[in-house]
């Protein structure tokens, strides 16, 4: 939309092609009016919105924009924790810019992003990460929302429990059946009762429904794996076909490992398969290098568990903990 203004009033999505079992990576607000959302299959998105304009991803363009945005953030604080290419937490508690006003800093950052990158941005300002994340969604697109310390209790009490970290559709539905709709409802449960019903997650629920989140903004997040995968337009019918495709995946994996400078940090090797009935399996082993023979053995093991046509194939490494030196940073993880 930034680069082609003619697209601005049209339903637009970025993702894979329907004939290749593509999925929607993201979409604009015009598309969302039709029920299109990220992670939806492209075919389903086009059924909901026949006029949807589908564009392929342009990752290098996104990386350039992300680097520009992160550079702006770091003009205000070194405590920047990226969550994705376009989202991050900033701790501006000790910031000196604009008299340390978090609201003014957010306004200036949003203006600079628009001037420098040409896109709008939204912000949430709050005393902790949990509430700031929710507040950042409050006035989208191109807005910001402030939750002051004295407003936290009232703000959180009316939040639907589905907004809590870790509460998915299944857990939210279970809570609703128990008569719990909002965080205020959840507060009536004791810590003991929550842990009896939800296990160790109950302790986290006890804090979040009260707006308590002690997690610091962490500017260094360690990368734990490097992998590649491919979803095929036509299912791979047998092990031989999987082996032919694995050769190409290994080339891509090698390139990605080099870019991550992870050659010396390999701890495990794994192969992932998703079969035509959507069941999944992963075979892995301890390894210090990516060897084609070992990958082939893992592929044979994984395929042998179902012996069905394969729709997705992946291969990757899990990184061993470094004994010293700098950590690997996962760029773009927000």
Residues classed as catalytic = 87
- Pairwise CA distance, residues 282 & 291, whole Å: 17
- Pairwise CA distance, residues 169 & 176, whole Å: 10
Q: Which residues contact 197 (CB under 8 A, 6 or more apart)?
A: 178, 189
Alpha helices (H) in the chain, listed in sequence order: 29-32, 42-48, 59-73, 102-117, 129-136, 152-157, 169-177, 183-186, 191-198, 201-208, 239-259, 292-304
- Pairwise CA distance, residues 19 & 328, whole Å: 37
DSSP state at residue 321: P
Question: Given its phi and psi angles, is residue 269 left (phi above 0), alpha (psi -120 to 50 degrees) or beta?
Answer: beta
86 is in an annotated binding site: yes
Q: Output the known binding site.
A: 3, 86
Q: Output the known binding site for Mg(2+).
A: 3, 86
């Amino acid at each position: 939309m930034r680069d082609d203004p003619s697209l601005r009033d049209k339903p637009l999505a970025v993702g894979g092609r329907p004939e290749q079992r593509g999925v929607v990576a993201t979409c604009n607000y015009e598309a969302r009016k039709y029920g299109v959302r990220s992670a939806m299959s492209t075919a389903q998105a086009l059924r909901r919105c026949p006029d949807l304009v589908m564009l392929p991803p342009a990752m290098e363009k996104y990386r350039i924009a992300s680097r520009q945005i992160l550079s702006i953030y770091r003009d205000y604080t070194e405590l920047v924790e990226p969550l994705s290419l376009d989202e991050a937490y900033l701790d501006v508690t000790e910031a000196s810019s604009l008299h340390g006003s978090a609201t003014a800093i957010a306004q200036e950052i949003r203006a600079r992003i628009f001037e420098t990158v040409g896109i709008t941005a939204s912000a949430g300002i709050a005393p902790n990460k949990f509430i700031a994340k929710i507040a950042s969604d409050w006035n989208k697109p191109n807005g910001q929302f402030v939750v002051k310390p004295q407003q936290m209790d009232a703000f959180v009490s009316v939040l639907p429990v589905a907004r809590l970290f870790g509460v998915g559709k299944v857990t939210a539905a279970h809570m609703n059946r128990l008569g719990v709709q909002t965080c205020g409802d959840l507060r009536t449960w004791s810590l003991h009762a929550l842990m009896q019903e939800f296990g160790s997650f109950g302790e986290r629920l006890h804090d979040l429904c009260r707006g308590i989140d002690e997690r610091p903004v962490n500017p260094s997040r360690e990368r734990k794996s490097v992998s590649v995968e491919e979803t095929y337009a036509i299912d791979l019918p047998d092990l031989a076909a999987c082996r032919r495709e694995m050769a190409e995946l290994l080339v891509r994996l090698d390139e990605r490992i080099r870019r991550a400078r992870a050659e010396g940090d390999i701890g495990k090797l794994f192969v992932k398969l998703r079969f035509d009935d959507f069941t999944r399996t992963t075979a892995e082993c301890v390894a210090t290098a990516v060897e084609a023979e070992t990958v082939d053995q893992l592929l044979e093991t994984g395929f042998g568990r179902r012996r069905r046509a394969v729709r997705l194939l992946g291969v990757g490494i899990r990184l061993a903990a470094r004994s010293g030196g700098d950590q690997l940073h996962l760029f773009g993880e927000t």
